[in-house]
Every structure is written in structure tokens, then in C-alpha cells.
């Protein structure tokens, strides 16, 4: 990864890596996600307010009245998930921070995000590192598009340069509340939609403001998301139970 890409990451708080995964890797990811959804292979997180989704979400993405939100602990599942997370995606993260190794946090972003068809639930604007408050804000949230990100299927949006302002309230409730109160106009006028195609990756700073609308389309929008740290999180974390793996 070139010096200019590192400079872009430092300035904007994010970089795109186009075509990180090939067609066979994308196919393998889609097949594994479909298998996990069909067989209900946990751990699975469901929408907190599934009633808001209504009856439009297909039955394949429901469990009773609950609607799929994500597959958790995907590195632990092995196979193509682990291959990508500990391979090409980790390599991209290492290049951004210029480190020979990074650590993946197993009990933070270690997931396959799934925006089910016609699920209107948004992801509110937030900062990952401020929400987690691990004792360091320098982690990288690395996202690989398993499907194309489009305006109608809940494509991720980011606010360039917002990572330079530090944490905006700590913890989920405080973070999203302060962002809504203090950053709504900046988001309205300056937000950028991540135009990812399947196989593209987005690497963003842990303090970059980001969010996404609901899925208004008939297509599923899936993305693999892993949190990488430039150092061993166990040495700085404020939390008692931290699981990491060096990659």
C-alpha cells in the first residue's frame, strides 16, 4: 500500500481497497453466509426492535418475529471467514498502520453484517472506538462488501475527517446522542456514501463517524467486518474479558 494511501487514511479517516477479493472468494463467502442463515448457525444477533421491520422481510431472514442482523464470531467459524480475516484483510490493515502485525479482537467487530431485504432498521451514526472505550482509539474497522453497496440497500455512509475530533461521548447511548445533537448538520452536508462493489474493502479509523440507512430493496446486503488493533489490546483495554488473535 503506497504512502499516498496512508496519507489519505490519516486525513480522511478511511481508504478504499478495490477488488481485494476475487470472484471465488466472494462466492465462497456468500455460500457460507447462506448456509449459516438457513441452518441458523449461531451465534446470531437479531434486531433489537424486530417489530419495526414489518412483514416484508422474507421468512428466510426471520426467526419467529426476530429479524437477522448479523452472524457473530465469524473468525471462530473458520473456513472462508477466517481465511479472509487472517489473510488479505489483515494484510490491508497492516499496510495502513505500517505494522508487521495487527491483532483482531474476537469479541468486538468479528461479524458478518446482514441487512435483510426490506428491513428498514438503520445503523445510527456512531464511532466504533468511542462506543467500545477500550483504552485506545486507534483500531481499524475493516469491511469487505459481500454484495454491492447501493443507495437503496443500506450502503454505509461516512463523514470524512471526523476521526480527528476525538471521541464524541463514550458508550453507545452517549455517543449516538451527542452525534445527533452536535453533528447532524455536518453529516447532512458532508456525508459520503461508500460505493463498494462486492469484493471491495473499506478500512476506517475507529473514531470515524459512520452510519447507514435501512434496506429498501429486495436484495440482501452483506459485509464482513473485523476490528484490527495495531497493538495487543489486552495490554491497554479497560475491560476484563478481551480476546484477541495476532494476525
At 113, list the grid cell. 453484517
Model pLDDT for residues 163-196, shown as the tens digit of each residue: 999 999 999 999 999 999 999 999 999 999 999 9
- Per mean pLDDT, which range of 68-72, 160-164, 204-208, 243-247 is the poorest? 243-247
Per-residue pLDDT at 153 = 96
Q: With residue 2 as reference, give the H or E element that holds it.
A: none
CB under 8 Å to 78, separation ≥6 — which residues?
Answer: none
Per-residue pLDDT at 147 = 98
At 44, list the grid cell. 446470531
Model pLDDT for residues 58-68, shown as the tens digit of each residue: 989 988 888 99
pLDDT reading at 26 higher than 90: yes
Q: Which residue has the cell 481485494?
A: 20
CA distance 152 to 147: 13
Nearest-CA neighbor of 67 among 28, 30, 34, 37?
Answer: 37
CA distance 149 to 244: 29
Query: Where do the domains of the chain lie, and which CATH numbers do they carry?
Result: 3-231 (2.60.120.620)
φ and ψ at residue 143, rounded to 5 degrees: -125, 130
φ and ψ at residue 203, rounded to 5 degrees: -115, 125
3-state secondary structure of 158: strand
CA distance 168 to 131: 9
Per-residue pLDDT at 49 = 62
In the structure, what pLDDT confidence band is assigned to residue 238 with cuts at 50, 70 and 90?
A: confident
Query: Cα–chain-centroid distance for residue 62?
Result: 21
Amino acid at each position: 500500500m503506497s504512502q499516498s494511501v496512508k496519507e489519505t487514511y490519516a486525513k480522511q479517516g478511511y481508504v478504499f481497497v478495490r477488488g481485494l477479493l476475487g470472484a471465488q472468494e466472494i462466492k465462497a463467502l456468500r455460500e457460507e453466509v447462506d448456509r449459516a442463515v438457513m441452518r441458523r448457525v449461531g451465534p446470531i444477533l437479531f434486531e433489537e426492535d424486530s417489530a419495526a421491520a414489518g412483514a416484508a422481510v422474507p421468512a428466510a431472514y426471520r426467526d419467529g418475529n426476530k429479524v437477522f442482523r448479523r452472524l457473530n464470531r465469524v473468525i471462530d467459524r473458520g473456513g472462508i471467514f477466517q481465511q479472509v480475516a487472517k489473510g488479505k484483510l489483515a494484510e490491508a490493515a497492516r499496510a495502513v498502520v505500517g505494522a508487521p502485525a495487527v491483532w483482531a479482537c474476537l469479541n468486538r467487530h468479528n461479524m458478518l453484517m446482514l441487512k435483510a431485504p426490506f428491513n428498514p432498521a438503520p445503523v445510527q451514526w456512531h464511532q466504533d472506538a468511542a462506543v467500545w472505550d477500550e483504552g485506545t482509539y486507534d483500531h481499524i474497522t475493516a469491511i469487505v462488501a459481500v454484495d454491492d453497496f447501493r443507495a437503496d440497500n443500506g450502503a454505509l455512509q461516512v463523514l470524512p475527517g471526523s476521526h480527528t475530533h476525538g471521541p464524541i461521548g463514550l458508550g453507545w447511548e452517549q455517543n449516538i446522542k451527542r452525534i445527533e445533537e452536535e453533528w447532524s448538520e455536518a453529516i447532512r452536508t458532508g456525508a459520503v456514501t461508500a460505493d463498494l462493489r462486492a469484493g471491495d474493502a473499506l478500512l476506517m479509523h475507529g473514531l470515524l463517524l459512520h452510519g447507514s440507512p435501512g434496506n429498501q430493496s429486495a436484495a440482501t446486503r452483506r459485509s464482513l467486518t473485523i476490528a484490527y488493533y495495531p497493538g495487543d489490546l489486552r495490554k491497554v483495554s479497560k475491560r476484563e474479558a478481551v480476546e484477541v488473535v495476532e494476525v
